[in-house]
Amino acid sequence: MTSTAGTPIAATLIPGDGIGPEIVDATVRVLDALGSPFAWERRSAGMAAMDAAGDPLPAATLDSIRDTRLALKGPLATPVGKGFRSVNVALRKEFMLFANVRPARTLVPGRFEDVDVVLVRENLEGLYVGYEHYIPIGDDPRAVAEAAGIITRHGCRRIAEYAFEYAVSRGRRKVTIVHKANILKALTGLFLEVCQEVGRDYQGRIEVDERIVDNCAMQLVMNPQQFDVILTTNMFGDILSDLIAGLVGGLGLTPGANIGRDAAIFEAVHGSAPDIAGRGIANPTALMLAATMMLEHVGRLDDAGRLRAAITTVLGNREQCTPDLGGRASTSGYADALVAALG
């Protein structure tokens, strides 16, 4: 998807739950200062939609995303162990958002310097397909829980081609395929096999290596600079992407994108943080970085660069940051600093 410079692009805006409306409003204000690149259709999802309409994913929200093919989403709450299933997962399945992209880059001083890792996660297959059930034994109807993971050659090739094209288009040097083929020989063995096949098509342009997932986790916390682009399965990607976020300061500093052939949804991947909702201290950085990814997706590269530079500038002055980053600024004050940095 590309755009004509200066013409606002129709996009769906989902404020979300908890701190979602606060960080979404801050992000929209900063985007307005950038020149209002998006024309928003506000829609609800998650607990907010459940409370208002009795449906965590209303038809109007789905229709809007089908129309705009583009969305920016705040965090959505999901009940643990009961209630409705994850709306995030439902959106991925509804729009076949097969690629989850999670970049993590050092923006503030921390335990590691110069971390710049992008994790590309297959988003629709594996154990997260949700094929699970209980097996009764005697008087216990839930004596055994059983789940099935599904990986297809088509799905593996689709995500591998996306990851390698992503690496080439962004000047990346290496793709590391992460798996557990030593134990799950069929389920992740197929993933490794197909990804290596695709990687051979990029010989001479992209270095390809592979890691068993547990070794990858250890190597990430010992020497994260050795990694560039990580390509992995659904569940491993879910876990490793949070680990990588921890290397650069946490989920408040890492954005996410869910990409499909016909739609893309950009998000803050952290939770809805109901304990601080309404207090005006939430950190909107992750959602603002998601907005830079969204700008890149629609071809607004100059705007994306300006926004990313402004975020880097403001994060360099701890007093302008929110309390979780060691500063004293409110969510609104942080947004004010970004608006000023944009000039």
Q: Which of 238, 303, 334, 336 is the catalytic position?
A: 238
Do residues 213 and 102 lie in contact, with contact meaning Cβ atoms separated by under 8 Å?
no
Do residues 256 and 104 lie in contact, with contact meaning Cβ atoms separated by under 8 Å?
no
AA identity, residue 22: E
The whole-angstrom distance between residue 100's C-alpha and the CA centroid of its chain comes to 6
The whole-angstrom distance between residue 76's C-alpha and the CA centroid of its chain comes to 13
Q: Which residues in the chain belong to E strands, given as ranges?
A: 9-14, 38-42, 70-73, 99-105, 116-122, 126-137, 140-150, 174-179, 207-212, 229-232, 255-259, 264-268
Structure tokens at 71: 């969305």
Q: Which of 180, 303, 334, 336 is the catalytic position?
A: 180
Do residues 69 and 63 lie in contact, with contact meaning Cβ atoms separated by under 8 Å?
no
238 is catalytic: yes
Distance CA 309, CA 304 (A): 9
Q: Which helix (H) or strand (E) holds 286?
A: helix 285-297
Q: What is the DSSP string of 141-205?
A: EEEEEEEEEE--HHHHHHHHHHHHHHHHHTT--EEEEEE-TTTSTTHHHHHHHHHHHHHHTTTTT
- 134 C-beta neighbours (distance < 10 Å), count: 12
What burial letters (b/e) apply to 106-120, b meaning 16+ CB within 10 Å? bbbeeebeebebbbb
Distance CA 307, CA 287 (A): 12
Q: Which of 32, 63, 209, 214 is the catalytic position?
A: 214
Q: Which of 128, 162, 202, 334 is the catalytic position?
A: 128
Distance CA 194, CA 106 (A): 32
214 is catalytic: yes
Structure tokens at 313: 């500038």
Active site residues: 128, 180, 214, 238
